[in-house]
Amino acid sequence: MIKCKKWRREKYVKTGNASGKQRYLCKECGCNFIEGDKRTNEK
């Protein structure tokens, strides 16, 4: 399950693709994150 990097929420919308990966926009804090991007995960 993908989660927001800030609040770790699961409310997000798809905003497009980046380098072949799905990009999401968090609906709670407004941050952007990418599927499989380890840098945005916890630690």
- The angle formed by the CA atoms of residues 19, 20 and 22, to the nearest 5 degrees, is 100
Confirm or reject binding of residue 34 to Zn ion (CB under 5 A): no
d(CA 10, CA 32): 12
What are the helix (H) ranges across the chain? none
Give the shortest CB-19-to-Zn ion separation in angstroms. 21
- Tell me: does residue 4 bind Zn ion (CB under 5 A): yes
2 binds Zn ion (CB under 5 A): no
Q: Does 29 bind Zn ion (CB under 5 A)?
A: yes
Site for Zn ion in 7-26 (CB under 5 A): 7, 26
